[in-house]
């Protein structure tokens, strides 16, 4: 019995020692969870005392929101707090759906103008046209109303009515429109068609629910209606991404079943997983070109990266954004949400294309791009070298197209938009979108339209000269170079009329796109723009050249 009793005492002593050690370890100052609990206590006590004794009343919601925003500054830009009133925005990002009337607006001065009407939307059904001015909604004047306030009134639950008074921009006649709000579904495939007679073209604007099914359907229809199809262009330029699952489904349209498209890895290892294609593809042989630019991000990069890693197609355009982070929404009290980055994603070759390192900050708190020295090299299926840490590098680089300063000014001041409105009311019909073209006489009308308009602007060179002049004054060099600066300024002085003629081709194209949009809406605008789109032209040339296409996909 004594032996047993002694053993029990030793066992109890050992357990007490382990509990004591464990307790010291668990609640050590260095322990992460203790630090969290400690600082939460301090934070709560601090707020309680501040709220109780501060001389003035403090708004609790505003104060707490500032605290949340301060915490979020330590994370990446994609981690965010979503208040209950903003849940519709979160839903729209995932589904592409919202309750409203289906139109875009622009407020300039006193009034708000309809700039775009979505095909098949309540606005379209009611006969509302781009250029119409919103006078009132539900009996309340919209004069001097902020654009955000007008937009808020246009939105609403599907099935709710809206009475609008609209003014014709040319005749000034006011008309009442009774509109019933609907669930607006902004389609992720905004256009699909054929370029140059035998190249399919599909434009994707986002990755929301059913995006993959839409792309699958578009490719199938293109193949069915064009038996001699030589290739397909998938345009992901300006596409900010969206749902990861939909990116896998889109890739599956061109990549065989049971192939790894992307894998995710984060701090919570149980959440790590690989995403494989689940269905039979539509086509694995048809030559494919994917267009990207610096605004192609997230899910767009998953599709482009998997197609590049598997040598299924060529990437054309500019380097993509470089967002290799995955967000998950977590529920919070009072119907709010936390959208939090939980993992990084990796393409089939094993590379993470995340370009900005948010885990290591500069002294000023800013985050920097991953330096070239830290970027690793991976290999595609054919052995081509690809790198991580910098987005998706295109196989064929095409310089971005920049429009002139005069064109920017004409767009910003709505002169191109307003001329298109006048043109629409003077011409009941026009040619089909791809073939429509303004004549020199039409452009002459535009020049006369601008005669009494102020579209003055400073060129980039003039802005640079102004900056140099200010710097020279601060550094006491200005007096010695005044003459030279004046001579240079005189040489650079631009003539608005000459700038208009010098950039005639570019401005005509912008006018044609805006005019076509009045008759054929967004699909017409896209169809018209394909004629002079440099990236599309490069893709068509590549897909028409089987030898070049194979060379681009071969190991260098």
Q: Tell me: the pLDDT tens digits for 442-453?
A: 999 999 999 888
DSSP assignment letter at 492: H
The yes-or-no verdict on residue 465 having pLDDT over 90 is: no
Confidence of residue 473 (pLDDT cuts 50, 70, 90): confident
Phi, psi dihedral angles at 8 (to 5 degrees): -65, -40
The pTM of the full predicted model, rounded to 2 decimals, is 0.86
Q: Which of 323, 349, 388, 499 is catalytic?
A: 323
Q: What is the mean pLDDT of the chain?
A: 90
Q: Which two tokens stand for residue 139?
A: 């009996």
Q: Is 365 left (phi over 0), alpha (psi -120 to 50) or beta?
A: left
Interacting residues of 38 by C-beta distance below 8 A, sequence separation 6+: none
Q: Stretch 363-368: mean pLDDT, rounded?
A: 81
Question: Distance of CA 169 to CAs 223, 419, 428, Å?
Answer: 43, 11, 16
Confidence of residue 317 (pLDDT cuts 50, 70, 90): very high
* 132-155 residue pLDDT tens: 999 999 999 999 999 999 999 999
The yes-or-no verdict on residue 18 having pLDDT over 70 is: no
Q: Stretch 34-39: mean pLDDT, rounded?
A: 88
Q: What is the pLDDT of residue 394?
A: 98
The yes-or-no verdict on residue 20 having pLDDT over 50 is: no
Confidence of residue 9 (pLDDT cuts 50, 70, 90): very low
Q: Stretch 461-476: mean pLDDT, rounded?
A: 83
For tokens 């979503």, name the residue.
Answer: 82
The yes-or-no verdict on residue 382 having pLDDT over 50 is: yes
- What is the share, in percent, of the chain residues with pLDDT greater than 70? 93
Q: What is the pLDDT of residue 22?
A: 45
The yes-or-no verdict on residue 23 having pLDDT over 60 is: no
Q: What is the pLDDT of residue 555?
A: 81
Domain boundaries, the chain: 33-74, 97-185, 189-400, 405-459+494-537
Q: Of 324, 325, 322, 286, which is closest to residue 307 (Cα–Cα)?
A: 286
> Strand 231-235 relative to strand 199-204: parallel, antiparallel, unpaired?
parallel
Q: What is the pLDDT of residue 45?
A: 94
Active site residue 309: yes
Task: Yes or no: say if 355 and 325 are a contact pair by the CB < 8 Å rule.
Answer: no
Number of helices (H) and strands (E), helices first, in the chain?
A: 18, 23
Q: Stretch 481-491: mean pLDDT, rounded?
A: 79
Q: Stretch 210-221: mean pLDDT, rounded?
A: 97
In which element (H, E) is residue 386 found?
A: strand 385-387
CATH no., domain 189-400: 3.90.226.10
Q: What is the pLDDT of residue 364?
A: 76
* 180-195 residue pLDDT tens: 999 999 899 999 999 9
The yes-or-no verdict on residue 26 having pLDDT over 70 is: no
Architecture of the domain spanning 97-185 = Roll (2.30)
429 vs 12, more confident = 429
Q: Stretch 264-276: mean pLDDT, rounded?
A: 92
The yes-or-no verdict on residue 245 having pLDDT over 60 is: yes
Q: Which of 188, 211, 296, 298 is catalytic?
A: 298
Q: What is the pLDDT of residue 13?
A: 42
The yes-or-no verdict on residue 348 having pLDDT over 70 is: yes
Reduced to 3 states (helix: H, G, I; strand: E, B; else coil), residue 52 is helix
The yes-or-no verdict on residue 216 having pLDDT over 70 is: yes
Q: What is the pLDDT of residue 30?
A: 59
Q: Stretch 156-184: mean pLDDT, rounded?
A: 95
Q: Of 262, 399, 241, 224, which is closest to residue 343 (Cα–Cα)?
A: 262
Q: Stretch 71-89: mean pLDDT, rounded?
A: 90
Confidence of residue 416 (pLDDT cuts 50, 70, 90): very high
Confidence of residue 492 (pLDDT cuts 50, 70, 90): low
Q: Which of 76, 132, 309, 499 is catalytic?
A: 309
* 248-263 residue pLDDT tens: 999 999 999 999 999 9
Q: Report the C-alpha gap between 162 and 468 in whole angstroms.
A: 54
Q: What is the pLDDT of residue 28?
A: 52
**Side-chain-side CA neighbours of residue 373 (13 Å):** 0
Confidence of residue 95 (pLDDT cuts 50, 70, 90): confident
Q: What is the pLDDT of residue 11?
A: 40
Confidence of residue 378 (pLDDT cuts 50, 70, 90): very high
Q: Stretch 273-282: mean pLDDT, rounded?
A: 97
* 532-545 residue pLDDT tens: 999 999 999 999 99
Reduced to 3 states (helix: H, G, I; strand: E, B; else coil), residue 302 is helix
Any idea how long the chain is? Answer: 556
Task: Yes or no: say if 262 and 300 are a contact pair by the CB < 8 Å rule.
Answer: no
The yes-or-no verdict on residue 51 having pLDDT over 80 is: yes
Task: Report the 10 Å Cβ neighbour count for 119.
Answer: 12
The yes-or-no verdict on residue 513 having pLDDT over 60 is: yes
């Amino acid at each position: 019995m004594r032996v047993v009793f002694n053993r029990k005492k030793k066992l109890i002593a050992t357990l007490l020692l382990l509990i004591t050690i464990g307790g010291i370890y668990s609640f050590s100052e260095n322990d992460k969870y203790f630090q969290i609990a400690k600082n939460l206590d301090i934070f709560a006590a601090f707020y309680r005392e501040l709220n109780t004794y501060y001389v003035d009343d403090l708004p609790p919601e505003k104060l707490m929101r500032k605290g949340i925003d301060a915490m979020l500054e330590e994370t990446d830009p994609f981690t965010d707090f979503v208040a209950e009133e903003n849940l519709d925005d979160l839903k729209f990002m995932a589904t592409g759906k919202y309750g409203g009337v289906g139109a875009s607006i622009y407020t300039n001065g006193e009034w708000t103008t309809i700039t775009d009407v979505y095909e098949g939307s309540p606005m379209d059904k009611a006969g509302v046209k781009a250029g119409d001015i919103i006078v009132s909604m539900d009996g309340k004047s919209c004069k001097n109303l902020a654009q955000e306030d007008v937009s808020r009134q246009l939105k609403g639950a599907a099935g709710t009515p809206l009475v609008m008074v609209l003014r014709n921009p040319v005749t000034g006649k006011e008309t009442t429109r009774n509109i019933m709000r609907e669930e607006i579904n902004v389609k992720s495939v905004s256009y699909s068609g054929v370029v140059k007679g035998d190249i399919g073209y599909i434009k994707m604007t986002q990755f929301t629910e059913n995006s993959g099914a839409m792309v699958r359907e578009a490719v199938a229809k293109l193949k069915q209606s064009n038996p001699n199809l030589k290739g397909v262009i998938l345009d992901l330029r300006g596409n900010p991404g969206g749902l990861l699952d939909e990116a896998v489904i889109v890739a599956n349209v061109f990549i065989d079943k049971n192939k790894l498209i992307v894998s995710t890895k984060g701090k919570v290892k149980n959440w790590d997983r690989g995403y494989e294609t689940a269905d039979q593809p539509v086509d694995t042989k048809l030559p494919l070109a994917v267009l990207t630019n610096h605004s192609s991000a997230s899910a767009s990069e998953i599709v482009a990266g998997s197609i590049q890693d598997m040598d299924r197609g060529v990437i054309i355009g500019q380097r993509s954004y470089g967002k290799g982070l995955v967000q998950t929404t977590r529920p919070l009290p009072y119907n709010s949400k936390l959208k939090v980055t939980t993992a990084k994603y990796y393409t089939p070759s094993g590379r993470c294309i995340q370009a900005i390192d948010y885990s290591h900050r500069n002294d000023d708190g800013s985050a920097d791009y991953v330096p070239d020295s830290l970027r690793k090299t991976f290999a595609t299926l054919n052995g081509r070298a690809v790198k991580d840490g910098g987005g998706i590098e295109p196989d064929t680089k095409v310089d971005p197209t920049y429009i002139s300063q005069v064109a920017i000014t004409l767009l910003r001041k709505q002169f191109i938009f307003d001329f298109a409105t006048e043109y629409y009311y003077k011409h009941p019909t026009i040619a089909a979108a791809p073939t429509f073209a303004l004549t020199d006489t039409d452009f002459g009308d535009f020049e006369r339209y601008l005669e009494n308009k102020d579209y003055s602007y400073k060129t980039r060179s003039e802005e640079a000269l102004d900056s140099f002049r200010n710097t020279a004054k601060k550094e006491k060099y200005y007096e010695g170079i005044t003459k030279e600066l004046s001579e240079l300024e005189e040489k650079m002085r631009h003539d608005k009329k000459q700038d208009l003629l010098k950039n005639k081709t570019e401005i005509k194209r912008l006018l044609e796109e805006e005019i076509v949009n009045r008759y054929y809406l967004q699909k017409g605008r896209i169809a018209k723009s394909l004629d002079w789109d440099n990236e599309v032209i490069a893709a068509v040339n590549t897909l028409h050249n089987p030898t070049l296409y194979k060379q681009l996909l071969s190991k260098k």
